[in-house]
Chain A
Amino acid sequence: MSALESDMVDRRHTDREYENELAQVRERVLLMGARVEDMMTASRKAFAERDADLATATIRNDHQIDTLEVEIDELCLQVLARRQPVASDLRFITATLKLVTDLERIGDLCVNMCERVVELCEDRTYPTQGPLPRIGEAAQAMLHDSLDAFVAGDANKAEQVIERDNVVDAYYAQLFPELVAHMMSDPTVVFRSTRMLSIGKYIERIADHATNIGELVVFMVRGLDVRHAGPASNNSPTA
Protein backbone atom coordinates (compact mmCIF):
# COMPACT_ATOMS: atom_id res chain seq x y z
CA MET A 1 0.00 0.00 0.00
CA SER A 2 1.38 3.42 -0.84
CA ALA A 3 1.89 6.03 1.81
CA LEU A 4 -0.65 8.33 0.25
CA GLU A 5 -3.56 5.95 0.05
CA SER A 6 -3.12 4.46 3.49
CA ASP A 7 -5.34 5.28 6.38
CA MET A 8 -3.70 8.33 7.84
CA VAL A 9 -6.06 8.66 10.73
CA ASP A 10 -5.03 5.50 12.53
CA ARG A 11 -1.27 5.93 12.51
CA ARG A 12 0.09 7.23 15.76
CA HIS A 13 2.97 9.59 16.32
CA THR A 14 5.89 8.57 18.49
CA ASP A 15 5.36 11.91 20.24
CA ARG A 16 1.96 11.60 21.94
CA GLU A 17 1.73 15.31 22.61
CA TYR A 18 2.00 16.02 18.89
CA GLU A 19 -0.61 13.32 18.26
CA ASN A 20 -2.92 15.06 20.72
CA GLU A 21 -2.45 18.42 19.05
CA LEU A 22 -3.43 16.97 15.67
CA ALA A 23 -6.36 15.15 17.24
CA GLN A 24 -7.50 18.42 18.78
CA VAL A 25 -7.44 20.17 15.43
CA ARG A 26 -9.45 17.32 13.92
CA GLU A 27 -12.03 17.41 16.70
CA ARG A 28 -12.52 21.17 16.41
CA VAL A 29 -13.01 20.87 12.64
CA LEU A 30 -15.61 18.16 13.21
CA LEU A 31 -17.41 20.36 15.70
CA MET A 32 -17.32 23.31 13.33
CA GLY A 33 -18.57 21.12 10.48
CA ALA A 34 -21.44 19.84 12.62
CA ARG A 35 -22.40 23.39 13.63
CA VAL A 36 -22.40 24.54 10.01
CA GLU A 37 -24.54 21.57 8.99
CA ASP A 38 -26.97 22.43 11.78
CA MET A 39 -27.11 26.02 10.57
CA MET A 40 -27.91 24.93 7.07
CA THR A 41 -30.60 22.52 8.25
CA ALA A 42 -32.15 25.32 10.30
CA SER A 43 -31.99 27.78 7.41
CA ARG A 44 -33.76 25.35 5.09
CA LYS A 45 -36.34 24.58 7.75
CA ALA A 46 -36.97 28.29 8.35
CA PHE A 47 -37.62 28.70 4.63
CA ALA A 48 -39.81 25.61 4.36
CA GLU A 49 -41.91 26.54 7.40
CA ARG A 50 -41.93 30.31 6.89
CA ASP A 51 -40.41 30.58 10.35
CA ALA A 52 -38.89 34.06 10.82
CA ASP A 53 -38.07 33.34 14.46
CA LEU A 54 -35.99 30.31 13.58
CA ALA A 55 -34.26 32.36 10.86
CA THR A 56 -33.43 35.11 13.35
CA ALA A 57 -32.14 32.61 15.90
CA THR A 58 -29.96 30.98 13.26
CA ILE A 59 -28.45 34.33 12.30
CA ARG A 60 -27.49 34.82 15.94
CA ASN A 61 -25.71 31.44 16.01
CA ASP A 62 -23.24 32.41 13.32
CA HIS A 63 -20.79 33.88 15.82
CA GLN A 64 -20.11 30.34 17.11
CA ILE A 65 -18.82 29.41 13.67
CA ASP A 66 -16.65 32.51 13.52
CA THR A 67 -15.18 31.72 16.94
CA LEU A 68 -14.35 28.18 15.87
CA GLU A 69 -12.68 29.43 12.72
CA VAL A 70 -10.36 31.67 14.73
CA GLU A 71 -9.69 28.90 17.24
CA ILE A 72 -8.81 26.32 14.58
CA ASP A 73 -6.58 28.79 12.74
CA GLU A 74 -4.72 29.38 15.98
CA LEU A 75 -4.32 25.64 16.64
CA CYS A 76 -2.98 25.09 13.12
CA LEU A 77 -0.56 27.98 13.54
CA GLN A 78 0.73 26.42 16.75
CA VAL A 79 1.27 23.07 15.07
CA LEU A 80 3.09 24.73 12.16
CA ALA A 81 5.31 26.74 14.49
CA ARG A 82 6.09 24.00 16.98
CA ARG A 83 6.09 20.83 14.91
CA GLN A 84 7.00 21.81 11.36
CA PRO A 85 4.67 19.10 10.06
CA VAL A 86 5.59 17.28 6.86
CA ALA A 87 3.92 14.90 4.40
CA SER A 88 0.41 13.79 5.45
CA ASP A 89 0.50 15.96 8.59
CA LEU A 90 1.46 18.99 6.54
CA ARG A 91 -1.31 18.31 4.04
CA PHE A 92 -3.78 17.84 6.86
CA ILE A 93 -2.87 21.15 8.51
CA THR A 94 -2.80 23.19 5.31
CA ALA A 95 -6.04 21.60 4.11
CA THR A 96 -7.62 22.41 7.46
CA LEU A 97 -6.54 26.05 7.30
CA LYS A 98 -8.38 26.37 4.01
CA LEU A 99 -11.29 24.19 4.92
CA VAL A 100 -12.29 26.35 7.88
CA THR A 101 -12.52 29.33 5.55
CA ASP A 102 -14.98 27.41 3.39
CA LEU A 103 -16.99 26.38 6.45
CA GLU A 104 -17.06 29.94 7.72
CA ARG A 105 -18.28 31.13 4.31
CA ILE A 106 -21.04 28.54 4.35
CA GLY A 107 -22.05 29.90 7.75
CA ASP A 108 -22.21 33.41 6.27
CA LEU A 109 -24.30 32.17 3.35
CA CYS A 110 -26.71 30.53 5.80
CA VAL A 111 -27.00 33.92 7.51
CA ASN A 112 -27.79 35.49 4.14
CA MET A 113 -30.39 32.82 3.49
CA CYS A 114 -32.04 33.47 6.84
CA GLU A 115 -32.09 37.21 6.22
CA ARG A 116 -33.94 36.62 2.95
CA VAL A 117 -36.31 34.26 4.78
CA VAL A 118 -37.08 37.00 7.32
CA GLU A 119 -37.92 39.34 4.43
CA LEU A 120 -40.00 36.68 2.70
CA CYS A 121 -41.96 36.10 5.87
CA GLU A 122 -43.48 39.57 5.49
CA ASP A 123 -45.30 37.93 2.60
CA ARG A 124 -46.64 34.73 4.15
CA THR A 125 -47.78 33.34 0.80
CA TYR A 126 -44.43 32.58 -0.84
CA PRO A 127 -44.22 29.06 -2.24
CA THR A 128 -42.20 26.65 -0.14
CA GLN A 129 -42.31 23.88 -2.71
CA GLY A 130 -40.53 23.75 -6.05
CA PRO A 131 -36.92 23.90 -7.14
CA LEU A 132 -35.47 25.73 -4.13
CA PRO A 133 -35.90 22.93 -1.56
CA ARG A 134 -34.50 20.55 -4.14
CA ILE A 135 -31.31 22.63 -4.58
CA GLY A 136 -31.06 22.98 -0.82
CA GLU A 137 -31.27 19.27 -0.26
CA ALA A 138 -28.65 18.50 -2.92
CA ALA A 139 -26.24 21.13 -1.57
CA GLN A 140 -26.66 20.00 2.01
CA ALA A 141 -25.98 16.39 1.02
CA MET A 142 -22.80 17.58 -0.67
CA LEU A 143 -21.72 19.43 2.45
CA HIS A 144 -22.46 16.40 4.59
CA ASP A 145 -20.56 14.02 2.33
CA SER A 146 -17.58 16.34 1.96
CA LEU A 147 -17.23 16.47 5.74
CA ASP A 148 -17.64 12.68 5.96
CA ALA A 149 -14.91 12.32 3.36
CA PHE A 150 -12.68 14.61 5.43
CA VAL A 151 -13.22 12.59 8.59
CA ALA A 152 -12.67 9.25 6.89
CA GLY A 153 -9.86 10.48 4.63
CA ASP A 154 -11.93 9.12 1.76
CA ALA A 155 -10.76 10.62 -1.52
CA ASN A 156 -13.24 8.62 -3.61
CA LYS A 157 -16.17 10.04 -1.70
CA ALA A 158 -14.65 13.52 -2.03
CA GLU A 159 -14.44 13.07 -5.78
CA GLN A 160 -18.12 12.17 -5.91
CA VAL A 161 -18.93 15.41 -4.11
CA ILE A 162 -16.91 17.35 -6.67
CA GLU A 163 -18.86 15.67 -9.48
CA ARG A 164 -22.19 16.53 -7.89
CA ASP A 165 -21.55 20.26 -8.05
CA ASN A 166 -22.70 20.10 -11.67
CA VAL A 167 -26.10 18.88 -10.51
CA VAL A 168 -26.57 21.84 -8.20
CA ASP A 169 -25.38 24.22 -10.90
CA ALA A 170 -27.94 22.70 -13.27
CA TYR A 171 -30.73 23.16 -10.71
CA TYR A 172 -29.76 26.78 -10.29
CA ALA A 173 -29.66 27.28 -14.03
CA GLN A 174 -33.27 26.04 -14.18
CA LEU A 175 -34.40 28.18 -11.28
CA PHE A 176 -33.21 31.44 -12.77
CA PRO A 177 -35.34 31.56 -15.97
CA GLU A 178 -38.30 30.08 -14.10
CA LEU A 179 -38.34 32.93 -11.59
CA VAL A 180 -37.67 35.57 -14.23
CA ALA A 181 -40.62 34.30 -16.30
CA HIS A 182 -42.74 34.33 -13.18
CA MET A 183 -41.83 37.94 -12.42
CA MET A 184 -42.55 39.04 -15.98
CA SER A 185 -46.00 37.53 -15.94
CA ASP A 186 -46.93 38.85 -12.50
CA PRO A 187 -45.30 42.03 -11.13
CA THR A 188 -46.69 41.40 -7.64
CA VAL A 189 -44.29 38.50 -7.15
CA VAL A 190 -41.16 40.48 -8.00
CA PHE A 191 -40.31 41.19 -4.36
CA ARG A 192 -40.45 37.59 -3.26
CA SER A 193 -38.96 36.18 -6.45
CA THR A 194 -35.83 38.31 -6.13
CA ARG A 195 -35.41 37.01 -2.57
CA MET A 196 -35.89 33.45 -3.70
CA LEU A 197 -33.42 33.94 -6.49
CA SER A 198 -30.89 35.17 -3.94
CA ILE A 199 -31.50 32.13 -1.79
CA GLY A 200 -30.93 29.92 -4.81
CA LYS A 201 -27.67 31.72 -5.43
CA TYR A 202 -26.54 31.32 -1.82
CA ILE A 203 -27.25 27.60 -1.95
CA GLU A 204 -25.39 27.28 -5.20
CA ARG A 205 -22.43 28.98 -3.51
CA ILE A 206 -22.67 26.60 -0.56
CA ALA A 207 -22.36 23.70 -2.98
CA ASP A 208 -19.26 25.37 -4.39
CA HIS A 209 -17.73 25.54 -0.93
CA ALA A 210 -18.60 21.88 -0.36
CA THR A 211 -16.82 21.18 -3.65
CA ASN A 212 -13.79 23.09 -2.36
CA ILE A 213 -13.82 20.90 0.72
CA GLY A 214 -13.97 17.83 -1.52
CA GLU A 215 -10.94 19.10 -3.44
CA LEU A 216 -9.07 19.73 -0.21
CA VAL A 217 -9.81 16.18 0.92
CA VAL A 218 -8.42 14.77 -2.33
CA PHE A 219 -5.29 16.87 -1.79
CA MET A 220 -5.03 15.82 1.83
CA VAL A 221 -5.34 12.11 1.05
CA ARG A 222 -3.54 11.79 -2.25
CA GLY A 223 -1.29 14.81 -2.35
CA LEU A 224 -2.81 15.83 -5.68
CA ASP A 225 -4.16 19.26 -6.44
CA VAL A 226 -7.38 18.76 -8.39
CA ARG A 227 -8.57 22.34 -8.27
CA HIS A 228 -9.52 24.23 -11.43
CA ALA A 229 -9.65 20.91 -13.27
CA GLY A 230 -5.86 20.89 -13.32
CA PRO A 231 -4.55 17.86 -15.17
CA ALA A 232 -3.39 15.22 -12.74
CA SER A 233 -0.19 14.84 -14.74
CA ASN A 234 0.76 18.32 -13.56
CA ASN A 235 1.59 17.03 -10.14
CA SER A 236 2.40 13.44 -10.59
CA PRO A 237 4.88 12.60 -7.82
CA THR A 238 7.49 11.42 -10.27
CA ALA A 239 7.08 14.25 -12.74
Chain B
Amino acid sequence: MNFDVSSRLSHESAPKRANDAEPPIGESKKASAPRSMSKTEPAAETHSRPRWDEVSVSQITPKMKAEDLHASFGSAEVIKGISLPVAEKLVTAIIGPSGCGKSTFIRCLNRMHEVVPGATTKGKVLLDEQDIYDRNVDPVRVRGRVGMVFQKPNPFPTMSIRDNVLAGLRLNGIKLRDPDGQVERALRQVALWDEVKDRLAKAGTSLSGGQQQRLCIARALALEPEVLLMDEPCSALDPIATARVEELIHELRESYTIVIVTHNMQQAARVANFTAFFYLGQLVEYNRTQVIFTRPKEQRTEDYITGRFG
Protein backbone atom coordinates (compact mmCIF):
# COMPACT_ATOMS: atom_id res chain seq x y z
CA MET B 1 0.00 0.00 0.00
CA ASN B 2 1.13 3.46 -0.48
CA PHE B 3 0.77 4.81 3.00
CA ASP B 4 3.90 6.66 3.67
CA VAL B 5 5.17 6.31 7.15
CA SER B 6 4.64 9.88 8.27
CA SER B 7 1.06 10.08 7.14
CA ARG B 8 0.33 6.66 8.57
CA LEU B 9 1.73 7.73 11.91
CA SER B 10 -0.08 11.00 11.82
CA HIS B 11 -3.27 9.11 11.24
CA GLU B 12 -2.67 6.62 14.00
CA SER B 13 -1.74 9.31 16.42
CA ALA B 14 -4.81 11.24 15.34
CA PRO B 15 -6.70 10.89 18.57
CA LYS B 16 -10.32 9.99 18.64
CA ARG B 17 -10.77 11.80 21.95
CA ALA B 18 -11.62 15.46 21.93
CA ASN B 19 -9.24 16.93 24.47
CA ASP B 20 -6.05 15.78 22.87
CA ALA B 21 -7.02 16.50 19.34
CA GLU B 22 -4.20 18.19 17.56
CA PRO B 23 -4.49 19.48 14.06
CA PRO B 24 -1.52 18.80 11.86
CA ILE B 25 -0.35 22.40 12.02
CA GLY B 26 2.88 23.16 10.34
CA GLU B 27 2.80 20.19 8.03
CA SER B 28 4.08 21.28 4.73
CA LYS B 29 2.12 20.40 1.62
CA LYS B 30 4.69 17.86 0.60
CA ALA B 31 4.77 16.14 3.92
CA SER B 32 1.03 15.96 4.11
CA ALA B 33 0.64 14.49 0.67
CA PRO B 34 0.98 10.75 1.14
CA ARG B 35 1.40 10.06 -2.49
CA SER B 36 3.61 11.87 -4.85
CA MET B 37 2.48 11.87 -8.43
CA SER B 38 4.95 14.63 -9.05
CA LYS B 39 7.65 14.34 -11.62
CA THR B 40 10.22 15.64 -9.17
CA GLU B 41 10.38 12.33 -7.36
CA PRO B 42 13.93 10.98 -7.53
CA ALA B 43 14.23 8.64 -10.47
CA ALA B 44 16.48 6.28 -8.53
CA GLU B 45 13.68 5.46 -6.15
CA THR B 46 11.33 4.19 -8.82
CA HIS B 47 13.99 2.33 -10.74
CA SER B 48 15.34 0.50 -7.71
CA ARG B 49 12.13 -1.50 -7.42
CA PRO B 50 12.84 -5.16 -8.00
CA ARG B 51 11.76 -6.66 -11.25
CA TRP B 52 9.29 -9.49 -11.17
CA ASP B 53 11.75 -11.88 -12.61
CA GLU B 54 15.39 -11.79 -13.53
CA VAL B 55 15.24 -13.10 -17.09
CA SER B 56 12.95 -11.90 -19.82
CA VAL B 57 11.82 -13.82 -22.87
CA SER B 58 13.91 -11.69 -25.18
CA GLN B 59 17.04 -12.32 -23.11
CA ILE B 60 17.03 -16.10 -22.95
CA THR B 61 19.79 -18.25 -24.35
CA PRO B 62 18.04 -21.14 -26.05
CA LYS B 63 19.50 -24.60 -25.53
CA MET B 64 16.87 -26.03 -27.84
CA LYS B 65 14.54 -24.44 -30.31
CA ALA B 66 11.54 -25.80 -32.15
CA GLU B 67 11.01 -24.07 -35.49
CA ASP B 68 7.64 -24.45 -37.19
CA LEU B 69 7.38 -27.97 -35.84
CA HIS B 70 4.54 -30.18 -37.08
CA ALA B 71 3.85 -33.68 -35.80
CA SER B 72 1.28 -36.21 -36.94
CA PHE B 73 0.00 -39.65 -36.20
CA GLY B 74 -0.89 -40.92 -39.67
CA SER B 75 -3.13 -38.27 -41.18
CA ALA B 76 -3.96 -36.65 -37.83
CA GLU B 77 -1.81 -33.60 -37.22
CA VAL B 78 -1.41 -33.01 -33.48
CA ILE B 79 1.31 -30.35 -33.53
CA LYS B 80 0.45 -27.62 -36.00
CA GLY B 81 3.50 -25.51 -36.45
CA ILE B 82 5.01 -24.66 -33.07
CA SER B 83 8.04 -22.46 -32.66
CA LEU B 84 9.37 -22.34 -29.13
CA PRO B 85 12.77 -21.71 -27.55
CA VAL B 86 13.88 -23.77 -24.55
CA ALA B 87 16.00 -21.66 -22.24
CA GLU B 88 19.35 -23.10 -21.22
CA LYS B 89 19.69 -24.25 -17.60
CA LEU B 90 16.24 -23.04 -16.75
CA VAL B 91 12.91 -24.80 -16.42
CA THR B 92 10.29 -24.49 -19.14
CA ALA B 93 6.81 -25.78 -18.35
CA ILE B 94 4.27 -26.75 -20.97
CA ILE B 95 0.67 -26.59 -19.90
CA GLY B 96 -2.59 -27.13 -21.71
CA PRO B 97 -5.67 -29.35 -21.73
CA SER B 98 -5.48 -33.04 -22.60
CA GLY B 99 -4.92 -33.59 -26.29
CA CYS B 100 -3.30 -30.22 -26.88
CA GLY B 101 -0.09 -31.89 -28.02
CA LYS B 102 2.20 -31.18 -25.07
CA SER B 103 3.43 -34.75 -24.63
CA THR B 104 3.83 -35.20 -28.38
CA PHE B 105 5.79 -31.96 -28.48
CA ILE B 106 8.35 -33.01 -25.91
CA ARG B 107 8.60 -36.44 -27.50
CA CYS B 108 9.63 -34.61 -30.66
CA LEU B 109 12.42 -32.93 -28.70
CA ASN B 110 14.36 -36.19 -28.39
CA ARG B 111 13.00 -38.03 -31.42
CA MET B 112 10.82 -40.34 -29.38
CA HIS B 113 7.75 -39.38 -31.39
CA GLU B 114 8.95 -41.18 -34.50
CA VAL B 115 9.22 -44.57 -32.76
CA VAL B 116 5.41 -44.81 -32.85
CA PRO B 117 4.34 -46.49 -36.13
CA GLY B 118 2.91 -43.93 -38.55
CA ALA B 119 4.19 -40.96 -36.56
CA THR B 120 5.86 -38.24 -38.58
CA THR B 121 7.37 -34.80 -37.97
CA LYS B 122 8.05 -31.77 -40.09
CA GLY B 123 10.04 -28.67 -39.28
CA LYS B 124 13.16 -28.26 -37.19
CA VAL B 125 14.26 -28.93 -33.65
CA LEU B 126 17.60 -27.33 -32.91
CA LEU B 127 19.84 -28.59 -30.13
CA ASP B 128 22.77 -26.23 -29.74
CA GLU B 129 21.92 -24.81 -33.17
CA GLN B 130 22.01 -28.23 -34.83
CA ASP B 131 18.81 -29.72 -36.26
CA ILE B 132 18.26 -33.07 -34.53
CA TYR B 133 16.17 -34.18 -37.50
CA ASP B 134 19.10 -33.68 -39.84
CA ARG B 135 19.80 -36.79 -41.90
CA ASN B 136 23.29 -37.16 -40.41
CA VAL B 137 22.10 -37.14 -36.82
CA ASP B 138 21.83 -40.41 -34.92
CA PRO B 139 18.57 -40.47 -32.93
CA VAL B 140 20.15 -42.67 -30.25
CA ARG B 141 22.81 -40.02 -29.72
CA VAL B 142 20.07 -37.38 -29.47
CA ARG B 143 18.27 -39.37 -26.79
CA GLY B 144 21.52 -39.60 -24.88
CA ARG B 145 21.79 -35.82 -24.80
CA VAL B 146 18.08 -35.23 -24.25
CA GLY B 147 16.83 -37.56 -21.51
CA MET B 148 13.26 -38.27 -20.57
CA VAL B 149 11.27 -39.10 -17.46
CA PHE B 150 7.73 -40.38 -17.79
CA GLN B 151 4.43 -39.96 -16.03
CA LYS B 152 4.41 -43.30 -14.25
CA PRO B 153 7.60 -44.43 -12.58
CA ASN B 154 8.78 -47.28 -14.78
CA PRO B 155 11.84 -48.96 -13.30
CA PHE B 156 12.70 -52.17 -15.12
CA PRO B 157 10.86 -54.74 -12.99
CA THR B 158 13.40 -57.50 -13.24
CA MET B 159 16.37 -55.30 -12.44
CA SER B 160 17.96 -54.30 -9.15
CA ILE B 161 18.15 -50.68 -8.11
CA ARG B 162 21.78 -50.60 -9.19
CA ASP B 163 21.09 -52.14 -12.58
CA ASN B 164 18.21 -49.79 -13.15
CA VAL B 165 20.53 -46.82 -12.77
CA LEU B 166 22.97 -48.36 -15.23
CA ALA B 167 20.32 -49.61 -17.65
CA GLY B 168 20.35 -46.55 -19.86
CA LEU B 169 24.11 -46.63 -20.19
CA ARG B 170 24.10 -50.33 -21.03
CA LEU B 171 21.25 -50.05 -23.53
CA ASN B 172 23.10 -47.26 -25.28
CA GLY B 173 26.20 -49.44 -25.45
CA ILE B 174 28.23 -47.02 -23.35
CA LYS B 175 31.21 -48.60 -21.66
CA LEU B 176 30.96 -48.39 -17.87
CA ARG B 177 34.13 -46.79 -16.62
CA ASP B 178 33.26 -46.71 -12.95
CA PRO B 179 29.86 -48.34 -12.45
CA ASP B 180 29.81 -48.00 -8.64
CA GLY B 181 30.76 -44.35 -8.84
CA GLN B 182 28.23 -43.70 -11.58
CA VAL B 183 25.47 -45.37 -9.57
CA GLU B 184 26.32 -43.40 -6.45
CA ARG B 185 26.60 -40.10 -8.30
CA ALA B 186 23.28 -40.52 -10.05
CA LEU B 187 21.49 -41.63 -6.90
CA ARG B 188 23.00 -38.76 -4.92
CA GLN B 189 21.81 -36.29 -7.55
CA VAL B 190 18.24 -37.38 -6.94
CA ALA B 191 18.76 -37.54 -3.15
CA LEU B 192 18.04 -41.26 -3.13
CA TRP B 193 21.47 -42.53 -2.19
CA ASP B 194 21.08 -42.44 1.57
CA GLU B 195 17.73 -44.17 1.33
CA VAL B 196 18.86 -47.07 -0.85
CA LYS B 197 22.65 -47.43 -0.45
CA ASP B 198 22.26 -50.54 1.70
CA ARG B 199 19.92 -52.32 -0.65
CA LEU B 200 21.21 -51.62 -4.13
CA ALA B 201 20.73 -55.26 -5.09
CA LYS B 202 17.02 -55.19 -4.26
CA ALA B 203 14.49 -54.86 -7.07
CA GLY B 204 13.80 -51.34 -8.29
CA THR B 205 10.10 -52.05 -7.93
CA SER B 206 10.55 -52.64 -4.17
CA LEU B 207 10.79 -48.88 -3.69
CA SER B 208 7.87 -46.54 -2.98
CA GLY B 209 6.29 -44.68 -5.90
CA GLY B 210 8.18 -41.46 -5.16
CA GLN B 211 11.46 -43.32 -4.77
CA GLN B 212 10.81 -45.19 -8.03
CA GLN B 213 10.30 -41.93 -9.84
CA ARG B 214 13.53 -40.53 -8.45
CA LEU B 215 15.21 -43.79 -9.49
CA CYS B 216 13.94 -43.21 -13.03
CA ILE B 217 15.32 -39.67 -12.93
CA ALA B 218 18.66 -41.11 -11.73
CA ARG B 219 18.54 -43.55 -14.66
CA ALA B 220 18.09 -40.63 -17.03
CA LEU B 221 20.84 -38.59 -15.32
CA ALA B 222 23.34 -41.46 -15.43
CA LEU B 223 23.57 -40.85 -19.17
CA GLU B 224 24.70 -37.32 -18.35
CA PRO B 225 22.17 -35.65 -20.64
CA GLU B 226 22.15 -31.93 -21.29
CA VAL B 227 18.40 -31.62 -21.44
CA LEU B 228 15.87 -33.43 -19.27
CA LEU B 229 12.32 -33.83 -20.51
CA MET B 230 9.73 -34.65 -17.85
CA ASP B 231 6.29 -35.77 -18.89
CA GLU B 232 4.02 -35.24 -15.89
CA PRO B 233 6.62 -36.67 -13.54
CA CYS B 234 4.52 -36.17 -10.42
CA SER B 235 1.04 -37.10 -11.51
CA ALA B 236 1.31 -40.54 -9.88
CA LEU B 237 2.97 -39.26 -6.71
CA ASP B 238 1.67 -38.12 -3.33
CA PRO B 239 2.28 -34.51 -2.19
CA ILE B 240 5.43 -35.30 -0.25
CA ALA B 241 6.99 -37.28 -3.08
CA THR B 242 5.89 -34.47 -5.40
CA ALA B 243 7.62 -31.90 -3.20
CA ARG B 244 10.82 -34.01 -3.32
CA VAL B 245 10.74 -34.14 -7.10
CA GLU B 246 10.08 -30.40 -7.31
CA GLU B 247 12.96 -29.74 -4.94
CA LEU B 248 15.05 -31.95 -7.18
CA ILE B 249 14.02 -29.93 -10.24
CA HIS B 250 15.22 -26.77 -8.50
CA GLU B 251 18.61 -28.40 -7.92
CA LEU B 252 18.86 -29.98 -11.36
CA ARG B 253 18.36 -26.73 -13.19
CA GLU B 254 21.80 -25.67 -12.00
CA SER B 255 23.24 -28.18 -14.44
CA TYR B 256 20.45 -29.18 -16.82
CA THR B 257 17.96 -27.63 -19.16
CA ILE B 258 14.56 -28.92 -18.12
CA VAL B 259 11.26 -29.12 -19.95
CA ILE B 260 8.32 -30.29 -17.88
CA VAL B 261 4.83 -31.13 -19.06
CA THR B 262 2.29 -30.84 -16.31
CA HIS B 263 -1.43 -30.81 -15.75
CA ASN B 264 -0.87 -29.29 -12.36
CA MET B 265 -0.93 -25.57 -12.90
CA GLN B 266 0.41 -24.83 -9.45
CA GLN B 267 3.35 -27.10 -10.16
CA ALA B 268 4.16 -25.14 -13.31
CA ALA B 269 3.89 -21.96 -11.28
CA ARG B 270 6.21 -23.37 -8.61
CA VAL B 271 8.99 -24.93 -10.66
CA ALA B 272 9.15 -23.21 -14.03
CA ASN B 273 10.95 -20.04 -15.11
CA PHE B 274 9.04 -19.97 -18.38
CA THR B 275 5.66 -21.37 -19.23
CA ALA B 276 4.15 -22.19 -22.60
CA PHE B 277 0.42 -22.72 -23.04
CA PHE B 278 -0.59 -25.10 -25.82
CA TYR B 279 -4.07 -25.45 -27.20
CA LEU B 280 -5.19 -27.70 -30.07
CA GLY B 281 -1.67 -28.29 -31.24
CA GLN B 282 -0.68 -24.65 -31.27
CA LEU B 283 1.32 -22.40 -29.01
CA VAL B 284 -1.06 -19.81 -27.60
CA GLU B 285 1.23 -17.96 -25.23
CA TYR B 286 4.78 -18.20 -24.00
CA ASN B 287 6.22 -15.96 -21.33
CA ARG B 288 7.83 -15.77 -17.94
CA THR B 289 5.90 -17.96 -15.53
CA GLN B 290 5.11 -14.97 -13.31
CA VAL B 291 3.49 -13.18 -16.20
CA ILE B 292 1.48 -16.22 -17.35
CA PHE B 293 0.03 -16.76 -13.89
CA THR B 294 -0.59 -13.16 -12.90
CA ARG B 295 -1.41 -11.33 -16.12
CA PRO B 296 -1.57 -13.51 -19.20
CA LYS B 297 -2.10 -11.61 -22.42
CA GLU B 298 -4.25 -14.13 -24.26
CA GLN B 299 -7.85 -14.73 -23.32
CA ARG B 300 -7.50 -18.49 -23.92
CA THR B 301 -4.61 -18.67 -21.46
CA GLU B 302 -6.57 -16.70 -18.91
CA ASP B 303 -9.60 -18.95 -19.35
CA TYR B 304 -7.59 -22.15 -19.07
CA ILE B 305 -5.51 -21.31 -16.01
CA THR B 306 -8.38 -19.78 -14.09
CA GLY B 307 -10.62 -22.75 -14.84
CA ARG B 308 -13.07 -21.03 -17.15
CA PHE B 309 -12.64 -23.48 -19.99
CA GLY B 310 -15.65 -24.96 -21.79
CA distance A119 to B17 in the complex (A): 10
CA distance A102 to B2 in the complex (A): 10
The 0/1 profile, CB within 8 Å of A marked 1, for residues 25-62 of chain B is 10001001111111101000111010110001110000
Contacts of B84 in A (CB 8 A): none
B56 and A238 within 8 A (CB) = yes
CA distance A98 to B2 in the complex (A): 11
Within 8 A of B (CB), among A87-116: 87-91, 98, 101-102, 105, 108-109, 111-112, 115-116
A3 and B298 within 8 A (CB) = yes
B23 and A194 within 8 A (CB) = yes
In whole Å, how far is A113's beta carbon from the nearest beta carbon of chain B?
11
A-B contact count (CB 8 A): 145
Number of interface residues, chain A, beta carbon within 8 A: 64
Q: Is A13 engaged at the interface, CB distance under 8 Å to the other chain?
A: yes
Q: Is B297 engaged at the interface, CB distance under 8 Å to the other chain?
A: yes
Contacts of A202 in B (CB 8 A): 14
B301 and A3 within 8 A (CB) = yes
Q: Is A188 engaged at the interface, CB distance under 8 Å to the other chain?
A: no
- Describe A's contact surface by its main secondary structure: helix
B7 and A238 within 8 A (CB) = no
Number of interface residues, chain B, beta carbon within 8 A: 53
CA distance A224 to B295 in the complex (A): 9
Q: Is B76 engaged at the interface, CB distance under 8 Å to the other chain?
A: no
B36 and A229 within 8 A (CB) = yes
A223 and B308 within 8 A (CB) = no
Given A14-B307, A201-B32, A237-B287 in contact, is the A215-B297 Cβ separation under 8 Å?
A: no
B23 and A12 within 8 A (CB) = no
**Which chain B residue lies CB-closest to A229?**
B37
A118 and B18 within 8 A (CB) = yes
A6 and B299 within 8 A (CB) = yes
Q: Is A69 engaged at the interface, CB distance under 8 Å to the other chain?
A: no
By a beta-carbon cutoff of 8 Å, the part of chain B in contact with chain A is: 1-2, 7, 11, 14, 16-18, 21-25, 29, 32-39, 41, 45-47, 49, 51-52, 56-58, 265-266, 269, 287, 291, 293-299, 301-303, 305-310
Q: 30 pairs across A/B with beta carbons < 8 Å?
A: A3-B299, A6-B302, A11-B303, A13-B307, A13-B308, A86-B293, A86-B305, A91-B295, A101-B1, A111-B16, A112-B16, A115-B21, A119-B21, A165-B35, A172-B32, A176-B29, A180-B25, A194-B22, A194-B25, A197-B24, A198-B14, A198-B21, A198-B23, A201-B24, A205-B34, A208-B7, A222-B295, A229-B36, A237-B297, A238-B56
